[in-house]
Amino acid sequence: MTICFFFLCYFVVGDVMKKKYWIMLGVFFFLFLFFFSEEKSMVLPEKKQEKRGVFVSYIELSSYLKGKSKKEANQEIKKMVSNIDELGFNMILLQVRTFSDAIYDSSIFPWSSTISEREGVSPGYDVLKIFLNYAHQNQIELYAWINPYRIRGDEDTSDISKDNPSFSYLGSDVVDINQGVFYNPAKEEVKDLIVDGVLELVQNYEVDGVLFDDYFYPNLEIDMEDYQKYQQKHPEVSLEEFRRNHVSDLVQRVYQVCHENDTLFAVSPDGNIENNYQKHFADVKKWGSSTGYVDYLMPQIYYGFYNETQAFVSVLEEWEKLASKVELLPVLAFYKVGAVDNFARSGKEEWILNDDIIMREILLTRNLKQYEGFSLFRYDYLFNKDLETATTMNEVKNMKKILK
């Protein structure tokens, strides 16, 4: 039809038309193509909204909620969600299970001492339920953040309640006490416990997703007896493969449970890819290049541009190459704003000398082929007035420029 229109105009106008009329005709022709072409859809696809997440850890929960009444807790949670919403963020990563406990009503794990007077005692309200209510009222997604293996951050087991599933395993090889108390990742009963806990969570609460953080294998001795027994029948499997296989098996099972209940699953691994293999035994390359393990990888790229050993740009490129089958949602280190980063060596002053690092990192992450969004660690460094400095205020101000 458009071709016929062009020739009709040509013969009607003929050679007598002056140059300016040809220009006008050309403009009209292209407008005609745009508005009336049968080959061009008039409905433009909506631009995918980027996820903008904020991590809310057990540290914040303890600080703002412990010892508070239900009414006071409601007010605090409402304010936290409102702060996140007003900043332009649409995703909360809420730490719901930190020490084999829960901030929600669970038949498997006891109430967490981070929100209550002691483990196993209800605070009188369901923290997750209140967060979900306010988050969804504000069209904010909520991901239930779980630390799967940690029972305690130190070696003191005296306050582990009888309701804690780890209690019955104390003294056995299912639980290890070594610079903390941890479940043994090589035990099938441990994997069953974690999967059952996720199943209970996604069936009882309308969370938008489940998130595991980067803490998988807690130490290098926890499963040695299990490996020695396994090696007798499988001498060709290395200790590293043995450990990675156990973690991947858990991840795959959790992914399946989440998807059976219409819930997404993500893992937030160490930003240093080699650390995942040498320390945590998390096979991020498999998870990123295969289906059936995770929906998102949320690498903790906690580095500045001048980090001497792990520069942000090069690490971001490594993750882009690694994740060919899943979406990427990098986590950025807002907690480093205005602070010395000794791990960066010669670049240790970068976070003090600059107040637009997060803004520039967000802009760069948006160029990823598998880009889904970004998240910031963590809430207090964005909203706690006691931690506020001129640098953090300017960093937020600069970040807001690109969040409209």
Query: How do residues 126-164 score in pLDDT, each as one tens digit?
Result: 999 999 999 999 999 999 999 999 999 999 999 999 999
Given a contact cutoff of 8 angstroms between Cβ atoms, the answer to whether 263 and 208 are in contact is yes
Q: Is the domain of 294 the same as that of 387? A: yes
Strand locations in 7-90 (E):
51-56
Does residue 46 lie in a domain region? Answer: no
Q: Is the domain of 27 the same as that of 146? A: no
210, β-bridge pairs = 144, 265
Q: Is the domain of 212 the same as that of 259? A: yes
Does residue 74 lie in a domain region? Answer: yes
Q: Is the domain of 26 the same as that of 89? A: no
Q: Is the domain of 11 the same as that of 92? A: no
CATH of the domain at 237: 3.20.20.80
Q: Is the domain of 324 the same as that of 364? A: yes
Quote helix, strand, coil % in the chain, to nearest 5: 45, 15, 40
Q: Is the domain of 82 the same as that of 124? A: yes
Joined together, the tokens standing for residue 62 give: 């303890």
Given a contact cutoff of 8 angstroms between Cβ atoms, the answer to whether 368 and 51 are in contact is no
Domain tally, the chain:
2
pLDDT number for residue 1: 41
Given a contact cutoff of 8 angstroms between Cβ atoms, the answer to whether 374 and 329 are in contact is yes
Does residue 297 lie in a domain region? Answer: yes
Give residue 24's domain range.
2-36
Which distant-in-sequence residues (6+ apart) come within 8 Å of 239 by Cβ? 227
pLDDT number for residue 48: 62
Peptide bond before residue 152 is cis, with ω within 30 degrees of 0: no
Q: Is the domain of 15 the same as that of 115? A: no
Which amino acid belongs to residue 112? S
Given a contact cutoff of 8 angstroms between Cβ atoms, the answer to whether 224 and 184 are in contact is no
pLDDT number for residue 188: 98
Q: Is the domain of 377 the same as that of 331? A: yes
Which amino acid belongs to residue 85? D
Does residue 42 lie in a domain region? Answer: no
Give the predicted TM-score (pTM) of the model. Answer: 0.88
**How far is C-alpha 316 from the chain's CA centre?**
15
Q: Given pLDDT bands bounded at 50, 70 and 90, which one contains residue 39?
A: very low
At 159-191, the pLDDT tens digits run: 999 999 999 999 999 999 999 999 999 999 999
Q: Is the domain of 328 the same as that of 379? A: yes
Q: Is the domain of 200 the same as that of 261? A: yes
SS3 196: helix
Q: H-type helices in 220-376, by residue range?
A: 224-233, 239-260, 273-275, 284-289, 312-322, 350-353, 357-365
At 334-389, the pLDDT tens digits run: 999 999 999 999 999 999 999 999 999 999 999 999 999 999 999 999 999 999 99
Q: Is the domain of 19 the same as that of 75? A: no
Does residue 44 lie in a domain region? Answer: no
